[in-house]
Amino acid sequence: MNENVGIRESLTEIYHQLSQFVVDLVPRLVTGLAVLIIGIILAKILEKVVGGTLSRIKFDAAMERVGLTNTLQGVGVKQEPSRAVARLIYLLLVILFLQSAANAVGLAVISQAIESFFAYLPNLVAAVLIILLGNTVGQFARRAVEQSGRDSGLDYAPALGRAVSASILFIVAIMAITQLGIDTAMINTIVIISLAGSAAAFALSFGLGTREITRNIVAGFYLRKLMRAGDEVEALGESGTLTAITATKTVLERDGRLTTLPNSQLIDSTVRR
């Protein structure tokens, strides 16, 4: 009997506590919902005001002139810059009022998370601006290099322009990552190793690819000390009057016809004068 009474008292106590919690929660929920609704209305009004103001001051035209419009479209922003900025302000205000609503309801975890987000927001904005401006500079540099290359008659001008743009974007990306507070030590190590490997590969391929040219140049240096223009020369089954010793070739003339022989082969063979 006493046990049943104890159970009833426990259930009654739980019921009263639950009822009190609901009674306390309902006003907070109403207050939080009211704050959120008012915040959304105010944010919507401010969005229209900001969008209209930016349109009147020709903000979109200015962004298009500096190339930011194409940059935004490249990252997936299809709206006009004025509308994108206004929409961003709307979302930030809604999040700010959501924090106030969370405080009113007593959801401290959500409130603290939003507070941390706003504390980190300047770094995020700075990183985005760095990427946008860097992309704009990269595109400008690409076009400038391509145009200069075409004017100079380079067939690989587009590839050179893309390489310059990619280099700028890579540097900008590192700057943005640093601005976000992310440790770039590992990235820097990988970049240094990659650049060192690329330089070594280029040096090796260049050295192997130009080995014969280098031999001919060095051989030409010694041939100029041994022979002079006008000498009658016979070598490698060819004969004629020595006309010139260029950087890589020796030029012979016979009966009005010119014959060129590699300098290195002349050094290695028997030459009669």
The answer to whether residue 156 scores a pLDDT higher than 80 is no
Say what the pLDDT of residue 236 is.
75
How much is the average pLDDT of 220-245?
A: 80
217, amino acid identity? I
> Would you state the structure tokens that stand for residue 243, as one six-digit string?
């006309």
**Radius of gyration over every alpha carbon of the chain, rounded to an integer in angstroms:** 38
pLDDT for residue 19 is more than 80: no
- Which residues does 100 contact at the CB level (< 8 Å), separation at least 6? 32, 35, 36, 39
pLDDT at site 136: 81
- The conformation of residue 272, written as its DSSP 8-state character, comes to B
Q: What are 46's two structure tokens?
A: 């401010």
Would you mind telling me the total number of residues written for the chain in this entry? Answer: 273
Query: pTM for the complete prediction?
Result: 0.54
Q: How large is the average pLDDT for residues 159-176?
A: 83
| Predicted pLDDT of residue 205 | 62
Q: Residue 24 has what pLDDT?
A: 67
Q: What share of the chain in percent tops pLDDT 90?
A: 1
CATH number for the domain running over 119-209: 1.10.287
Residue in 163, 122, 121 with CA at minimum distance from that of residue 142: 163
**47: buried, middle or exposed (CB in 10 Å: 19+, 13-18, 0-12)?**
buried
Domain ranges of the chain: 1-106, 119-209, 213-268
- The answer to whether the beta carbons of residues 54 and 82 sit under 8 Å apart is yes
Q: Among 48-62, 114-128, 155-169, 175-189, which is the least confidently predicted range?
A: 175-189
Mean pLDDT confidence for 159-172 = 83
DSSP state letters, 41-77: HHHHHHHHHHHHHHHHTTHHHHHHHTTHHHHHHHTT-
What's the topology of domain 213-268? Answer: SH3 type barrels. (2.30.30)
Least-confidence region, from 65-74, 139-148, 238-247:
65-74
pLDDT tens-digit readout, 111-128: 888 888 888 888 888 888
More confident residue, 194 or 145: 145
Residue 254 in contact with residue 269, Cβ under 8 Å? no
- Among 17-31, 86-100, 176-190, 230-244, the range of highest mean pLDDT: 86-100
3-class DSSP assignment, residue 249:
strand
